[in-house]
Each structure stands twice: as C-alpha cells, then as structure tokens.
Amino acid sequence: MSLRSAVVVVVAFASLASIKAVLTLDNDGERVLCRYFDPAWMASVKEQRAFEKSLFTKTYRAASDIIMLEGVTCVYKSSVDLFFYVIGAPDENELLLSFALNTYFDALAQMLRNQVEKRVVMENFDVVALALDELVDGGIILEADPAVIVQHVAVRNNDEVPIAEQSISQALQTAKEQLSRSFLK
C-alpha cells in the first residue's frame, strides 16, 4: 500500500501539467478570455465564475502580484483595464507560473503594439486566443519564448487590411495614446 501511494504522489508532483488555468478579466471582473486546463479542478462554469469573482475582488485593488486562494497559487498582473492571471497547484514553483504569465503578456504586448487593453484585445480576439493556444496546451507549457509565440501566431494573411489603411488607423491610435499619456502626467 505504502509503495503504491508513494508512486501516486510522485506522479502528481512530477507532472508537466503545471498550469491549472489562464484567465483574463476586465475591470468589472467579467470574462474576456478564460481557459481552464485541469478537468479535476473547477469543472463547472458555475464554480469557475464563483472562483473568478472571489479572485477578482481580492486582487483588483491590491498592489501585488501573487496570492494564495482556495488552495491554488495565482500570479497576476494588470494592464490598463485588464487583469491577467496564471493559476497553478499550491505546491507549484511560483517563479514558473510568473514566467508563463510574463511570456504570455510579452507576446500580447508585441502583437498588440503595447496596447494591451480590453478594446484592442477584443478586436484582436483571434490573435489573443491563438497566442494562448501556443503558450499552454492542456496545462503543459508549450512555448516559453514570447518571440517564438509571436512568430507562430503572426500569420501571413493574404486578405489583410490594405497597408495604407492600416498604417493610418495605427498612426491615429498611437497619436491618441500619446496624447492621453501626456494628459495624465
């Protein structure tokens, strides 16, 4: 008996599936893009929502980046009006979770030209979803380098928005952003 249980413990400990969920919530705590990878944890949508709610209320004001909640470790960071969370087992290496979170965030920042905010994420939902798919597969970290993720997602589309049009809208966007930044100073 003791032998068998020992094996089970080792397996759980040594599993590569270190990420239980990756969540993105907006500043009302509503879902933007949430994926749960551990079928044994938070299986029903109802449980997931309740968990997200308690996670959000405990983190949206706090000036920190890690919390233990309901037996799991959550690392998080916020950007404009979004909150990004990576969640792992209570005994998971915290730095590993933080590493995954940073990879995801850096990849998004590169692809969305540093405009990691709800409106842009929503407009580029496909890009964000693909980036997450390239980051984690079934809880296992698939790729750890943000540059590689960007390369995998940034697809050569044959019917993209015309170049000229794109650059104008982007120029407008950048100008608007810088303006608002200088106002805020």
Partner 1 sequence: MSKKDEDGDYNPYASIDKSAVVQEARQAFNETTINPRRCNLVLNKLLFLLYSGEPLGTTEATETFFAITKLFQCKNITIRRLVYLAIKELAKVANDVIIVTSSLTKDMTAKEDMYRPAAIRALCRITDSTMLQGIERYMKQAIVDRNPAVSSAALVSSLHLLGSNQDIIKRWVNEITEALNGKTLMAQYHALGLLYHIKQRDRLAVTKLVTSQTKGSLRSSLAYCNLIRYAVGSMQDDPALYNELLQFLDLCLRHKSELVVYEAARAICSLKNVTNKDIIPALSVMQLFLTAPKSIMRFAAVRTLSQVANRYPTAVAVTNIELENLIQDSNRSIATLAITTLLKTGREASVDRLMTQITPFMSEISDEFKIVVIDAIRTLCLKFPQKHIVVLDFLSAVFRDDGSFEYKKAIVDTITSIIHEIPAAREIALNHLAEFVEDCEHPALSARALHMLGRLAPQSSFPSRYVRIIYNRVVLESPIVRAAAVSSLAKFAVSPNSSNLAPMIIALLSRCLHDTDDEVRDRAAFYLRVLSSDEAHVKSFIMSDLPYSITALERSLVDYLKNPSATPFNLKTVPLQAPSAKPEFSKADIMAGVVPSSAAVAGSAAALAAAGGIAAVGGAAGINLSAAQQQDRNAARLAAHPELGQLGPLFRSSKPTPLTEAETEYVVSCTRHIFSRAVVFEYELTNTLNDQLLEDVKVQLDCPDGFIVRKVIPAKSLPYGKPAFSYVVVELPQDPKIVSGTFSNTLKFLVKDCDPNTGEPDDEQGYPDEYLVEDVELQVSDQVVPIEFPDFAAAWNALPQDSEVSDTFELASMKSLEEAVSTVIGFLGLFSCGRPQPNASKSAQALQLSGVFRGGDQVLVNAKLLFKGPGEGVAMQLTVRSSNLQTSEIIASAVG
Query: Binding string, 24-63, against partner 1, x = CB under 8 A?
Result: -------x-xxx---------x--xx------------xx
- Of 66, 106, 111, 74, nearest to 90 by C-alpha is 74
Asked if 90 interacts with partner 1 (CB under 8 A), we say: yes
Question: What tokens were used for 135?
Answer: 């980051």
**CA-to-CA distance for 140 and 136, rounded, in angstroms?**
5
Residues 133-172 that bind partner 1 (CB under 8 A): 133, 137-138, 140-145, 148, 152, 155-159
- Of the candidates 122, 168, 175, 179, which one interacts with partner 1 according to CB under 8 A? 122
For 177, counting Cβ atoms within 10 Å of its Cβ (0-12 exposed, 13-18 middle, 19+ buried), the class is: middle
**CA-to-CA distance for 4 and 2, rounded, in angstroms?**
5
Asked if 109 interacts with partner 1 (CB under 8 A), we say: no
- Which phi and psi (to 5°) does residue 72 adopt? -130, 160
Question: Which is it for the CA torsion 102, 107, 110, 115, positive or negative?
Answer: negative
Are the beta carbons of 90 and 66 closer than 8 angstroms?
no
CB of 53 to partner 1, least distance (A): 13
- Of the candidates 38, 65, 106, 177, which one interacts with partner 1 according to CB under 8 A? 65
CB of 185 to partner 1, least distance (A): 19
Return the number of the residue (35 or 60) whose C-beta is nearest partner 1: 35
Are the beta carbons of 178 and 115 closer than 8 angstroms?
no
**Which residues of this chain interact with partner 1, rule CB under 8 A?**
1-4, 6-7, 10-11, 13-14, 16, 31, 33-35, 45, 48-49, 62-72, 75, 81, 90-91, 93-96, 98-99, 117-119, 122-123, 125-126, 129-130, 133, 137-138, 140-145, 148, 152, 155-159
